[in-house]
Amino acid sequence: MNSTLLRSFLLQRFTSPMRLGLTSLFTFFPLVGVLLSGELSLLAGIAGPLAVLYAAGAIGQDVSSGTLQLLLVRPVTRPSYVLHRWLGAMLAALAVVLMTTVCAVLLLFLRGTPPEALAVSRLLLEAITAIAGHSAVMVMLSTLVGGVGDLALYASSLFVTQMFVLLATLKQWPALMRACNEVQGALGAKLSWAWLGTGMAPSAFAIVSWVSTITLALAVAITVMNRKELSYASG
Amino acid sequence: MPAVSPSGPTRRDPRILWIVALVLLAGRVVLGILEERNPPEKPDLVSWVEAAAAPEVARRTGKPILYDFTADWCAPCQAMRQEVFAEQRYAQPLGQMVVPVQVVDRQKEEGRNSPRVDSLQRALGVTAFPTLVIVDADGKVLDRIEGYPGAQGVLTWIGTTSGKGRLANPKGVKFQFP
């Protein structure tokens, strides 16, 4: 574990005014919703967008700014660099989700409607798995384009898939619909923990799909990084 | 993480990661086909409230109560459970619009129902399953449907009826909470 790589990445993420502004937006409104409705589940959707936000440009920004050339003259392997970027993005998003959840739980206690421990556990486990999945996909996309172009790539992939979903719905093509579901599942890789405490077994397909998306994304990211030719003149 | 000497190469072949990724991808395809053929039972995602506690929760939250009269042997009830109550995109908004109460009929399995189930069924005139009834916090029946009109139909009905419930509804028939 290279703590310098992690520390510098986290410092960069948490000092970016744009990221901090968007983080406030992503967390403030759900917290207000929790306070008004008493529903902790309103926080369920924040983990994925936060992971995308903190992983966006994880590698692409280093490539565009020329930092990567300087970084790789140090004793750091490319796979290690990719894995640390993934880990860093996960830690950043997780820290925000944890703080938001603690605030939400405190608000619910103040409101007199404390949440069940099981609901909080489910929420956190779903957040952790969503963050791991989304971050891996974003790190992979970040190896493909410079700057925060991965964000545009991610958004356009979601948009194109949604168009295909509409087409599959209109034409009633189940195979296309299934393929779109798989792509959407890969872009937003997460794991449902709804089975927890119900006595039911989790879906093996869901677990394997989630792990498969993460390993594939990281394998692609490392392979692309290995093929990158970096020189001071590469621009 | 493997450390490299300052002068060594920075590239490492992720062969093992690729093997694991491809094995998992194959497993994903196989499991996907298996689950398509034998869909697993999905867990219920609605936070059902005890019938006795529902009026108090409804008064506190300002939401009307949704009574879902169901039975284990009833196929449309089970379809509704899988397609509405086990689907995050429907279960979540449902919990935000109403105080959900599930009333399970056990007449066929056990020969009788609990007194609370009996009194609720009698008070709301339930004769078929599934029956969904929305009642406001004061016990006014806002609307009811019998049968399962599809996931979207159920959610639209709950949305419009619970919206009505937040406004005054003098036409509603008063019902006494058991």
> In this complex, do A200 and B34 lie within 8 Å of one another by their Cβ atoms?
no
Average pLDDT of chain B? 83
A185 CA to chain B: closest CA distance, Å? 12
pLDDT of res. A163: 93
Does A28 or B96 have the greater pLDDT score?
Answer: A28
**Most B CBs within 10 Å: which of A137, A193, A208, as the mutation test of the B interface?**
A208
pLDDT of res. B173: 56
pLDDT of chain A along its 235 residues, tens only?
Answer: 888 889 999 999 999 999 999 999 999 999 999 988 888 888 988 999 999 999 999 999 998 888 888 888 888 889 999 999 999 999 999 999 999 999 999 999 998 888 889 889 999 999 999 999 999 999 999 999 988 899 999 999 999 999 998 898 888 888 888 888 889 888 988 888 878 877 777 888 999 999 999 999 999 999 999 988 776 555 4
> In this complex, do A77 and B18 lie within 8 Å of one another by their Cβ atoms?
no
The pLDDT of residue B170 is above 60:
no
Residue of B nearest to A199 (CA): B43
Q: What are A33's two structure tokens? A: 């919703």
CA-CA distance, A231 to B66, in Å (whole number)? 65
The pLDDT of residue B7 is above 60:
no
pLDDT band for position B168 (cuts 50, 70, 90)? very low
All residues of chain A having their beta carbon less than 8 Å from the beta carbon of residue B3 are 75
Residues B41-80: tens digit of each pLDDT: 777 888 899 988 888 888 888 889 999 999 988 888 988 9
> In this complex, do A222 and B6 lie within 8 Å of one another by their Cβ atoms?
no
Whole-prediction pTM = 0.74
The pLDDT of residue B2 is above 60:
no
Among A181, A115, A140, smallest CA distance to A51 is for: A140
Residues B130-141: tens digit of each pLDDT: 999 999 888 888
